[in-house]
Homo-oligomer: A and B are copies of this chain.
Amino acid sequence: MSIAKLGALNPLETLSMTDRVENSLRVYFTENGFKPGDALPNEVEIAQKLNVSRNVVREALSRLRMLGMVEARPRRGMIMAQPDLLGGIEKVLNPALLSQDNLKDIFEMRLILEMGIPEFLFARKTEQDLNELDEILSQQKDVTTVSKDEEIAFHGKLYEMTGNDMFKRFQTLLMPTFDHVFTGYYDNDKKIEIANPITHHDLVAILKTGTPDEFRKAMYTHLAVYFASIL
């Protein structure tokens, strides 16, 4: 049999002991239905059961601790905890490390999200929210051009208005896409800087008296430059 015939001849997975212990622990927790608050075996016991050094166990536990999956109470043992779903993403969000593929995906994700939120915005908007939006608009220097910070403030407020905490925190994830847009990955002419047929003011007006469908249509136009470069 020739090499070619072997097809996908991938390098054998060369997992370190730490990797394998991490996996073992996760499987162990899942299969035994561990729930937040449940006590974990201590480090030495785990090390002995898995036949590895305590060092390796601690390196694996260190990972789970970072994710918030387990909590170590010094001198009292470890317990299961409630992991922070977005913690892992936020830790990794170093713009200098993001690949172009990631940037593209995030950028598209943002378009999807902004087209998806109108129902939530109209259902959960409050007078307070609308006032804050007005405040944000009033602080915009120029009516025709919008700076990066102003973009973030406005759209960020929209995310916040969804009333969904996870979504709100997503702004951190979406942030690089504003850079992305401003550095003109999709559009070298920086059209974002020119007049937009639908301004933030228009969007707020619709949010006050319009309907979700109207808002979405306006948002689509507002983002039309980016949609055009993708679709």
Contacts and interface: CB of A to CB of B under 8 A. Distances in A.
Given A88-B91, A113-B113, 7 more contacts: A26-B94, A33-B96, A85-B106, A86-B89, A108-B164, A109-B166, A109-B167
A149 interface: no
19 contacts: A34-B97, A35-B96, A55-B58, A62-B62, A62-B63, A63-B66, A67-B88, A69-B94, A81-B97, A82-B98, A82-B99, A82-B102, A85-B93, A85-B173, A105-B164, A112-B117, A112-B120, A112-B167, A114-B116
Interface of A: 18, 22, 26, 29-30, 33-36, 55, 58-60, 62-63, 66-69, 80-89, 91-94, 96-99, 101-102, 105-106, 108-109, 111-120, 123-124, 162, 164-167, 173, 220, 227, 230-231
